[in-house]
Chains A and B, each alone.
Chain A
């Protein structure tokens, strides 16, 4: 009887926790994510499922029972299929398209350049990752964190370096959640108070026809340039067409509510669960987190610096804070820019303009993912 009891105890999670304390570290990280999501309301829609996924994924078990996410025929393995094949990111983009209002971007197309400039963080990080010794496919997957776009990072990593999905997804979403901590010091450092006070003029009114033509033109131009971005941009602009065409309101409603919510839950949970301590806690993950922070910071800085550069040639000046929203963390970075603008001048509303940069950042980072994928196929 004692033998049976001991055998049972040696198969419990407590025993494995005792055997490998890395699981305790990961469970603590999971709890922190859940805490930040609920108590601090840092991107709760992402951090709560991811955090809980980390907790669930790091409950140690006896290998071979078909329980873990990396074991064939387990339920989690099937759910994880949507991540490794890039299905969930595409569905998230569909919902994102159905949510996004491109009218501010159409009213002021030059703001799209800030979305392009903010992608420079990706290429700088690509070089840094290669210099540190990561393989090219791994370096490209890490670099895309600079786009600050979780689904895009997961999509590219699933294609190029599936073994790194866990750390890259966690890094990307962590930095997206930490936008209020990371971006403001960079924005303040790179701008003067006078620049932060610049007011943007009211954007012109955009006609329904322009809104209708935009998704068609954009998908053609972007995907002919980088066809590998089709799974993301194709879905993004399809969702947007549903929203603006006026005859598919039901589809648009489903895409921006039930469909994107389902995909976000499954994506967040399975990505969290994929961070099993035995495959996650290693020096590579530390390197990824470090490079992710570098990528995100440089992306923010390059957007701000480029906005200042544009101001040298423009009569109507742009508030350089908008450059920081060129990263594609929608709508977190736009909100942060707006808040900082309000701190300097409570009557200066930058949100609408920042959303224009933000949405161009989404397009830009998806194009970057397509380009990097096509380089390394």
Chain B
């Protein structure tokens, strides 16, 4: 018991010396610099990663917008090539025609008057816009929201 007490006492007496030696060891081995630079590096690395991934949805949205704009441009640049496809689809599958109209729907937003869709499809030189829009209404691809405003059924397009 006395021996244990002596050891503890010796430790307490020598504590300042031990602390000083410990601090000296850290300094001699460049410990402070390693710890500070290391902590800052790992923290900044994860902060940059967190910031980047927080902006991922915006980046994806931007890319999709860019992609859609290109698609609409492609439609307006090559209207003649679409004509046979549309005519072929009209007799077979209304959903495929609706897919062709998708960029137009997206350009118009969630709500629009039919006249706007009609004008845009004419502007894009899509064939038979009137018949197509009527078919869309019959197929519930275009849904009336009242007051002459329509929305498009995203599940079907």
- The CA of A115 and the CA of B49, in the complex, are separated in Å by 12
Interface residues as binary, B27-60 with A (CB distance below 8 Å gives 1, 0 otherwise): 0011110111111011101111111111011011
Query: What residues of chain B lie closer than 8 Å to A135, measured between beta carbons?
Result: 29
Are B50 and A110 in contact, CB atoms less than 8 angstroms apart? yes
Query: What residues of chain A lie closer than 8 Å to B56, measured between beta carbons?
Result: 106, 210, 213-214, 217
Stretch at the interface among B18-26, B111-119, B126-134: B18-26
Sorting the interface of chain B by its residue count into under 10, 10 to 19, 20 to 34 or 35 or more gives 20 to 34
Are A217 and B52 in contact, CB atoms less than 8 angstroms apart? yes
What 10 pairs across the A-B complex have the smallest Cβ distances? Answer: A131-B22, A116-B46, A112-B50, A123-B35, A109-B50, A109-B54, A130-B31, A225-B45, A136-B29, A130-B26
Query: What residues of chain B lie closer than 8 Å to A375, measured between beta carbons?
Result: 34, 37-38
- The CA of A213 and the CA of B59, in the complex, are separated in Å by 11
Are B53 and A217 in contact, CB atoms less than 8 angstroms apart? yes
Are B29 and A139 in contact, CB atoms less than 8 angstroms apart? yes
- The CA of A113 and the CA of B48, in the complex, are separated in Å by 10
Are A126 and B53 in contact, CB atoms less than 8 angstroms apart? no
Stretch at the interface among A34-42, A339-347, A362-370: A362-370
**CB of A273 within 8 A of chain B?**
no
**Which listed residue (B30, B39, B46, B53) contacts A120, Cβ 8 A?**
B39
Beyond known contacts A133-B25, A136-B30: 18 more, CB 8 A cutoff: A109-B50, A116-B42, A120-B39, A126-B34, A131-B22, A139-B29, A140-B34, A207-B60, A210-B57, A217-B52, A221-B45, A221-B48, A222-B45, A222-B49, A226-B41, A363-B46, A363-B49, A367-B45
**CB neighbors of B among A96-133 (8 A):** 105-106, 109-110, 112-113, 115-117, 119-120, 122-124, 126-127, 130-133
**CB of A236 within 8 A of chain B?**
no
> How many Å from the CB of B49 to the closest CB on chain A?
5
Are A113 and B26 in contact, CB atoms less than 8 angstroms apart? no
Q: A130-B25, A131-B23 are in contact. Are A123 and B48 (CB under 8 A)?
A: no
Query: What residues of chain B lie closer than 8 Å to A122, measured between beta carbons?
Result: 38
Query: What residues of chain B lie closer than 8 Å to A225, measured between beta carbons?
Result: 41, 45, 48
A-B CB contact pairs (8 Å), 28 listed: A109-B50, A113-B46, A116-B43, A116-B47, A119-B43, A120-B39, A123-B36, A123-B39, A126-B38, A127-B31, A127-B32, A130-B31, A131-B31, A139-B29, A139-B31, A209-B60, A210-B57, A214-B53, A214-B56, A217-B49, A217-B52, A217-B53, A217-B56, A221-B49, A225-B45, A367-B46, A371-B42, A375-B38
Query: What residues of chain B lie closer than 8 Å to A124, measured between beta carbons?
Result: 35
> How many Å from the CB of B44 to the closest CB on chain A?
8
**CB of A372 within 8 A of chain B?**
yes
Chain A residues touching B, majority SS: helix
Query: What residues of chain B lie closer than 8 Å to A213, measured between beta carbons?
Result: 56, 59-60
Q: A214-B53, A226-B41 are in contact. Are A127 and B26 (CB under 8 A)?
A: yes
Q: Across the two chains, which residue of chain A brings its CB closest to B55?
A: A109
Chain B residues with CB under 8 Å of chain A are 22-23, 25-26, 29-32, 34-39, 41-43, 45-54, 56-57, 59-60
Q: Across the two chains, which residue of chain A brings its CB closest to B35?
A: A123
Query: What residues of chain B lie closer than 8 Å to A222, measured between beta carbons?
Result: 45, 49
**CB neighbors of B among A129-158 (8 A):** 130-133, 135-136, 139-140
**CB of A200 within 8 A of chain B?**
no
Query: What residues of chain A lie closer than 8 Å to B49, measured between beta carbons?
Result: 109, 112, 217-218, 221-222, 363
- The CA of A127 and the CA of B29, in the complex, are separated in Å by 10
Query: What residues of chain B lie closer than 8 Å to A140, measured between beta carbons?
Result: 34
Q: Across the two chains, which residue of chain A brings its CB closest to B29?
A: A136
- The CA of A127 and the CA of B36, in the complex, are separated in Å by 10
Query: What residues of chain A lie closer than 8 Å to B35, measured between beta carbons?
Result: 123-124, 126-127
Query: What residues of chain A lie closer than 8 Å to B31, measured between beta carbons?
Result: 126-127, 130-131, 136, 139
Are B42 and A368 in contact, CB atoms less than 8 angstroms apart? yes
- The CA of A336 and the CA of B139, in the complex, are separated in Å by 54
**CB of A276 within 8 A of chain B?**
no
Are A371 and B23 in contact, CB atoms less than 8 angstroms apart? no
**CB of A360 within 8 A of chain B?**
yes
Q: Across the two chains, which residue of chain B brings its CB closest to A140?
A: B34
Query: What residues of chain B lie closer than 8 Å to A131, measured between beta carbons?
Result: 22-23, 25-26, 31
Q: Across the two chains, which residue of chain B brings its CB closest to A133?
A: B25
- The CA of A222 and the CA of B32, in the complex, are separated in Å by 23
Interface-centre pick from A112, A214, A372 (highest chain B CB count, 10 A): A112
> How many Å from the CB of A214 to the closest CB on chain B?
6
- The CA of A120 and the CA of B56, in the complex, are separated in Å by 28
